[in-house]
């Protein structure tokens, strides 16, 4: 696939996988629309990518009107959109019984409604163009449930289901558009620092338990030593170029998901992945 001159919209572009996607897409010669909750990281990234035509659009993907404004800004600047990377996400940790209704609403608003809003807004644009690809960042946690990640698991399961339905609907309609889903394991990012993007009112209703703090302490070094975001982004871009729907960062992701499914069928029980 020739990426030269194509236009890519990347949400969550200010850090982690989103920043990795921006750097890899830039190296491939693409024009970039950098969307994120905070403007400062977007501006810094734009200044870094000096040889790339970029547009920075502060965007809360949980808000449909802001995603609509993102699309309008994209078309006004570039006249088209070839790729949408629905990547923005948050990762609060809590057991199911400790997850407040505010935590549920916030996590699902970003991780699930963000991709839904992206598809709702950008899909008609791509259909009118007659070309385009939508990729969503889900997670290894979107393939099987884990403890202490109730809201995160649910949101990422939803993203996987959304993209499976979208891909099948496009294929059934013989559409020239395509779709893919990225299910990464540990990638170096700031996802555990996601509370910085919550309103003070929402944070006040968040109750962090000792169990959650202990779990975060366990997974924090795993993420800090995770895959380089640029390497994760290269995997995504190469897989899209190869026409793949399922994209995994590490071989163990598919292996573990398959093992979970087989055990479910054979024993009717769940093990700890």
What pLDDT, on the 0 to 100 scale, is given for residue 205? 55
| Domain extent at residue 205 | 7-267
pLDDT tens track, the chain, 273 positions: 889 999 999 999 999 999 999 999 999 999 999 999 999 999 999 999 999 999 999 999 999 999 999 999 999 999 999 999 999 999 888 899 999 999 999 999 999 999 999 999 999 999 999 999 999 999 999 998 888 999 999 999 999 999 999 999 999 999 999 999 999 999 998 877 766 665 655 555 556 677 878 878 888 888 888 999 999 999 999 999 999 999 999 988 888 888 888 887 788 766 665
What are the residues whose beta carbons fall under 8 Å from the beta carbon of 131, sequence distance 6 or more? 82, 176, 177
Contact 166, 173 (CB under 8 A): no
Helices 229-241 and 16-27 cross at an angle (nearest 10°) of 60
225 within a domain of the structure (yes/no): yes
What pLDDT, on the 0 to 100 scale, is given for residue 84? 98
Contact 74, 33 (CB under 8 A): yes
Number of domains in the chain: 1
| Residues carrying an active site annotation | 152
What pLDDT, on the 0 to 100 scale, is given for residue 119? 98
273 within a domain of the structure (yes/no): no
What pLDDT, on the 0 to 100 scale, is given for residue 189? 87
What pLDDT, on the 0 to 100 scale, is given for residue 260? 81
1 within a domain of the structure (yes/no): no
In this structure, the chain runs to a length of 273
56 within a domain of the structure (yes/no): yes
2 within a domain of the structure (yes/no): no
- CA–CA gap between residue 168 and residue 164 (Å, rounded): 6
What pLDDT, on the 0 to 100 scale, is given for residue 153? 95
251 within a domain of the structure (yes/no): yes
CATH number at residue 122: 3.40.50.720
123 within a domain of the structure (yes/no): yes
Contact 209, 95 (CB under 8 A): yes
What are the residues whose beta carbons fall under 8 Å from the beta carbon of 210, sequence distance 6 or more? none
Task: Determine the distance from the C-alpha atom of residue 228 to the mean position of all C-alpha atoms in its chain, rounded to a whole number.
Answer: 16
Output the six-digit token pair for 268: 């009717």
- For the chain, state the CA radius of gyration: 18
126 within a domain of the structure (yes/no): yes
What pLDDT, on the 0 to 100 scale, is given for residue 123? 98
Contact 84, 9 (CB under 8 A): yes
Alpha-carbon dihedral sign for residues 62, 63, 66, 68: positive
């Amino acid at each position: 696939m020739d990426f030269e001159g194509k236009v890519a919209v990347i949400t969550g572009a200010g850090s982690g996988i989103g920043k990795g996607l921006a750097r890899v897409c830039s190296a491939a010669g693409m024009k970039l629309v950098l969307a994120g909750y905070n403007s400062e990281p977007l501006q810094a990234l734009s200044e870094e990518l000096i040889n790339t035509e970029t547009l920075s659009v502060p965007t809360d993907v949980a808000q449909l009107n802001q995603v609509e404004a993102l699309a309008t800004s994209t078309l006004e600047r570039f006249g088209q959109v070839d790729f949408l990377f629905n990547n923005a996400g948050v990762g609060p940790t809590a057991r199911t019984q400790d997850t407040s209704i505010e935590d549920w609403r916030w996590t699902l608003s970003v991780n699930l409604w963000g991709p839904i809003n992206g598809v709702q807004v950008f899909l008609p644009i791509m259909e009118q163009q007659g070309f385009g690809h939508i990729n969503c960042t889900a997670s290894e946690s979107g393939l099987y449930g884990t403890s202490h990640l109730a809201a995160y698991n649910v949101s990422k399961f939803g993203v996987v289901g959304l993209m499976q339905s979208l891909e099948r609907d496009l294929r059934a309609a013989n559409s020239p558009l395509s779709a893919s889903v990225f299910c990464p394991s540990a990638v170096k990012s700031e996802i555990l620092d996601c509370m910085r993007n919550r309103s003070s009112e929402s944070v006040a209703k968040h109750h962090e338990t000792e169990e959650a703090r202990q779990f975060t302490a366990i997974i924090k070094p795993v993420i800090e030593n995770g895959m380089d975001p640029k390497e994760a982004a290269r995997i995504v871009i190469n897989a899209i170029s190869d026409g793949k729907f399922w994209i995994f960062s590490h071989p163990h992701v598919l292996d573990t998901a398959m093992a979970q499914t087989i055990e479910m069928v054979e024993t009717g029980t769940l093990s700890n992945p």
